[in-house]
Amino acid sequence: MEKKGFVYLVGAGPGDPGLFTIKGKELLERAEVVVYDRLVSPEIIAWANPQAELIYVGKESSRHTLSQDEINALLAEKAAQGKMVVRLKGGDPFVFGRGGEEALYVRERGFDFAVVPGISSAIAVPAYAGIPVTHRDATSSFAVITGHEKPGKEVSSINWKLISTGIGTLVFLMGVENLEYIVNNLMENGRNPETPVALIRRGTMPDQEVVSGRLNDIVARVRQAGLKPPAIIVVGETVDLRQGLSWWETGPLWGKRIIVTRSRHQASVLVKKIKELGGEAIEFPAIEIAEEENLDKLYMAFKNIESYHWVIFTSVNAVDIFFRKLKSHGHDIRNLAGIKIGAIGPATSERLQKYGLLVELMPDEYQAEGLVKELQAMMKPGQKVLLPRARGARDILPLQLGDLGAEVEEIFLYQAVVPSSINNASITELLQQTIDYITFTSSSTVTNFVDIIGSQQAEVLSSRMKVACIGPITAEKAREKGLKVDIIANEYTIDGLLQSILADLADGN
């Protein structure tokens, strides 16, 4: 039986990827075709099925990639090919998203559709600016109105007399270019010129901007601030509540832009913490984890695992590869009975615990020197140590373990290589941006970052922003590569790195 196409109209929400719905994400991961708009976050697009065909149909004022008629036809065309199509629209598909038109067009051509609502910017953006659209002491009504209506229309589609005085809070979407027209119509139809107004640009995003005023002065204030689209306009008494309810712009990293150079699959923790603190995390992965092609030494170690007294892990990556291969070769953690486990750093220790293992040793100093120092009292000469780790790691650990009399077997599981996805466009974009901090979480991130953008450019960048390193070994590598190091974490962890950045900001540096 021939597969019949299906179209999902999915709302992507107001911008912050965290406000995307679970159902929308599930559909995006299964989609065969994704047709998406201009204001959909790249992070949301990144959740799409890697095999999906991605088609950009974004619209800007006076410039459309495709007309609405062409978008309608495209959806029907892809459905006719038997494809599962996700039409990804900013905000909610049925709130000025023309989702109704697209759904009718698809149905008229014999294809089924479903709607996945999105959080509308009409409510979410004011909320992120500390402005409730309703409040018991101010108003119990609000209206969402298009801001796109052009001045000079003979018959307005907006009942200005009714909305000017009959509704509490007015939210105009996409109305920056028509602000003066909107303001004048409201005042001419009876709205008090002293009514509070706020324009919110890129609401829910780390670079959100808010310009507040009154109907009689907001046009001048916006011009003075140079506020550009996309923005929404909120008119009403609840705007004044922003003074007490502002929350999104109060984080300690608010307004700060921070480059994260970790590999993409590891960066999520650091990126999430930066966002939680109000900062903007710019992902520029300088490493990619490439598993070793030949792991015969590891498989041989599995067969003789009972001969080892210690297994020492220096990274989360080593832990994951080790236990994935252990399982795929017919073994499990019972084979490690009686073997002591060592880990450098709390993240590695925590990952081992998730595999059901207790860690006998995690040094207070999260680097090789700290581990060796504490092993002196625990390890006996002649004991056998299995050291699964990254190719290119420092030699100090196997050498100093050998000095303690241990028999060390070092097995390379992976190496941190330069990502294949880096392109010249992303490098150019990075160099043009204003950045406050760049973070390095390992020597590999430093080496590869400099290799990617070039030593000259790296030195220029480090002079324009602050370089923050997770520990002294990483800082030493950064200096070796010609970078000026401003911050070294006291605790060699992601949290320690962030605390050091916060301390730097608190000192007014």
**Which residues are known to be catalytic?**
37, 59, 174
- From the CA atom positions of the chain, what is the Rg in Å? 28
Q: Is the separation of the CB atoms in 279 and 256 below 8 Å?
A: yes
Q: Within 13 A of 242's CA, how many CA atoms are on the CB side?
A: 24
State the Cα torsion 219-220-224-230 to the nearest 10°: 0
Q: What are phi and psi of 173, to 5 degrees?
A: -95, 135
Helix (H) or strand (E) holding 440: strand 437-440
In 37-176, beta strands by DSSP E: 53-56, 59-60, 63-64, 84-89, 112-116, 142-146, 169-173
Angle at 470 between CA 464 and CA 471, to 5 degrees: 110
Q: Is the separation of the CB atoms in 167 and 142 below 8 Å?
A: yes
Q: Strand pairing partners for 6?
A: 84, 112
Q: Is the peptide bond before 50 cis (omega within 30 degrees of 0)?
A: no
Intra-chain end-to-end CA distance of the chain, in Å = 67
CA distance 159 to 150: 14
CA distance 64 to 45: 20
CA distance 376 to 371: 9
Contacts of 459 (CB under 8 A, 6+ apart): 482, 483, 484
Phi-psi region of 278 (alpha: psi -120 to 50; beta: other; left: phi over 0): left
Q: Is the separation of the CB atoms in 230 and 200 below 8 Å?
A: no
Q: Is the separation of the CB atoms in 351 and 269 below 8 Å?
A: no
Q: How many CB atoms lie within 10 A of CB 49?
A: 17
Q: Is the separation of the CB atoms in 83 and 75 below 8 Å?
A: no
Q: Strand pairing partners for 29?
A: none
Q: Is the separation of the CB atoms in 174 and 272 below 8 Å?
A: no
CA distance 115 to 377: 64
Contacts of 294 (CB under 8 A, 6+ apart): none
8-state DSSP, 185: H
Closest C-alpha among 155, 200, 207, 204 to residue 179: 200
Q: Strand pairing partners for 142?
A: 169
